[in-house]
Structure 1
Amino acid sequence: MSAKQMQPEELYRRVGRLIESAPPFVGIGVLSVEQMTWLGRAEALVVSSGDLDARMEFALAKQGLSQPPARAMAQQRLMLTLYKVLAAAELASPPGAQGAFIPVGNSFDAYAAIAKVISAAKQDVLIVDPYMDDAVLTDFGGTLSEGVVLRLLTDQGTVKPNLTPAAQRWKTQFGRRPLEVRLAPQKALHDRAIFIDRSEAWTVTQSLKDLAKRSPAEIVRADDIAPLKIASYEVIWLNSTAIV
């Protein structure tokens, strides 16, 4: 498939990841291999969008990188162009794919994206996060429908101390919202993920407590590897220590 034939959803996800990995363009030296590689990928994606205005804007901004005093402004223009391409690709993507990329510092969109995923559950939600704290309950627990089981799996070495008392209060106050919390062995968890009804898998690029606060974040539906991920984490869940 040529670059110009890229589907909107694929373009949306690729541009989102590219924005997330943008290197800084500062200093007076020549551009590094990392910077040039990123620029090449960025330009290819802008071309694949088919937006001629965006293509021209990106080319003009890229020229500014050759002048060290103008690099900060040039990078801002590059990123503005990428966000424009991102927004257009998101609008053209299926509704289920929209909202997967969360810009830096946008806490409301972070909440809305997670809430949208969790609220779709009919029976069971398993949230995996090695650095889990009480935010998973205070921010997102209320989005579940009554009767849906919420399972929280975190790392016994990195879990935050406020999770257990929050979970105990939750069990006392919300009897019709089942909750289970387990601690996995240290370093057994390698992802931050959300599993819906044991059939749908979403990966999250940051811990829920930090989502989009310091750097861009993504929530991505992992359809192609969902069965493997679900099976793997169900095994870890069964071999973890229940605390609530």
Structure 2
Amino acid sequence: MMSSLPPEQLLLMLQGLVRDAPALPSGERLGETEARWLGRADALLSAFGQVNQVVSFRVARENLGTIRHDRNSLMQPLFDALSHLELLVPAELQGAFIRAGDTWNGYAALVQIVQRECKSLFIVDPYMDASVFLDLVPHMVASQSIRLLTARQPPLLPALVAASNKWNGTKDRTTPDVETRLAPSGRLHDRLIIVDGNDAWLVSQSLKDIAKKSPASVTRADVELAKLKAAAYDELWLESRPVA
């Protein structure tokens, strides 16, 4: 039963549903894509168990294509459910959408993830630079193992190598050593933070550039996708070589 899903998974599904909401313009016939989206929305609201939201959604759905057609009335129950779920789910499990230029909240969203107590942190970013050791690694004091995987970017590599060597050569700190590797050419595309090998966060931009020029998002992957990502990048890690 969908109702057995934990609140954080329902929240993740609802966030995706709202993000993918079709335009539903008045006067146009619904296609298969719109019909399937409406079905998923009804099922998800029913799983959440708020009867008033389900009823409001179904009334607005029945009015589509009539003189009472109102997309806002259709979306409002989804926004209400989203707000209720956000109250049930710990902030560190919610993810974030960051508007363009809001680099502080972009940075804060990343810190919120990496400062959690865990056995391992695995960060993947093809455009990683030395700033990761200044901005994020010091917040990883509660992690027992830290891995960084990036791609060879000649302009960024010397400073990254220097920062890695400097960090691992400093002994008066509580954060563990950080192992940094370079993936084989052309193999790295995602930007991820993987916690304990089963909790993956998808970052829409490179960590050093998050929200600088365009909106960014930090989204928690669903359980199955997280497992697939973690397994794939563990394999790629074994094929990668340490920075020199």
Fold shared, TM-score > 0.5 on shorter chain = yes
Separation in structure 2 between the aligned mates of residue 134 and residue 79 of structure 1, nearest angstrom: 43
Q: CA deviation at 1:41?
A: 0.9
The within-5 A match list for 1:32-47 is 32-47=31-46
- State the match for 1:214 in structure 2: 215
Partners of 2:147 and 2:179 within 8 A in 1 = yes
- State the match for 2:81 in structure 1: 85
TM-aligned CA distance change 1:99 to 1:201, over 3 Å: closer
TM-aligned CA distance change 1:49 to 1:123, over 3 Å: closer
Unaligned ranges ≥5, structure 1: none
Separation in structure 2 between the aligned mates of residue 89 and residue 232 of structure 1, nearest angstrom: 31
Partners of 1:128 and 1:154 within 8 A in 2 = yes
One of 137, 151, 154 as aligned partner of 2:150: 154
- State the match for 2:115 in structure 1: 119
One of 100, 113, 130 as aligned partner of 2:94: 100
Partners of 1:130 and 1:154 within 8 A in 2 = yes
Q: Which amino acid aligns with 2:219?
A: E
TM-score by length of 1: 0.69
- State the match for 1:165 in structure 2: 159
Q: Which amino acid aligns with 2:141?
A: S
Work out whether 1:49 is the aligned partner of 2:44. Answer: no
TM-aligned CA distance change 1:199 to 1:46, over 3 Å: closer
Separation in structure 2 between the aligned mates of residue 237 and residue 222 of structure 1, nearest angstrom: 21
- State the match for 1:237 in structure 2: 237
Paired residues, number: 234
Unaligned ranges ≥5, structure 2: none
TM-aligned CA distance change 1:168 to 1:141, over 3 Å: same
Secondary structure of the structure 1 residue equivalent to 2:149: strand
Partners of 1:195 and 1:230 within 8 A in 2 = yes
Secondary structure of the structure 1 residue equivalent to 2:29: coil
Q: Which amino acid aligns with 1:214?
A: P
Q: CA deviation at 1:153?
A: 0.9
Secondary structure of the structure 1 residue equivalent to 2:93: coil
The percentage of aligned residue pairs carrying the same residue is: 28
Alpha-carbon RMSD:
4.1
Secondary structure of the structure 2 residue equivalent to 1:39: helix
Separation in structure 2 between the aligned mates of residue 21 and residue 8 of structure 1, nearest angstrom: 20
Q: Which amino acid aligns with 2:220?
A: I
One of 139, 144, 147 as aligned partner of 1:143: 139
Q: CA deviation at 1:127?
A: 0.4
- State the match for 1:204 in structure 2: 202
Q: Which amino acid aligns with 1:145?
A: V
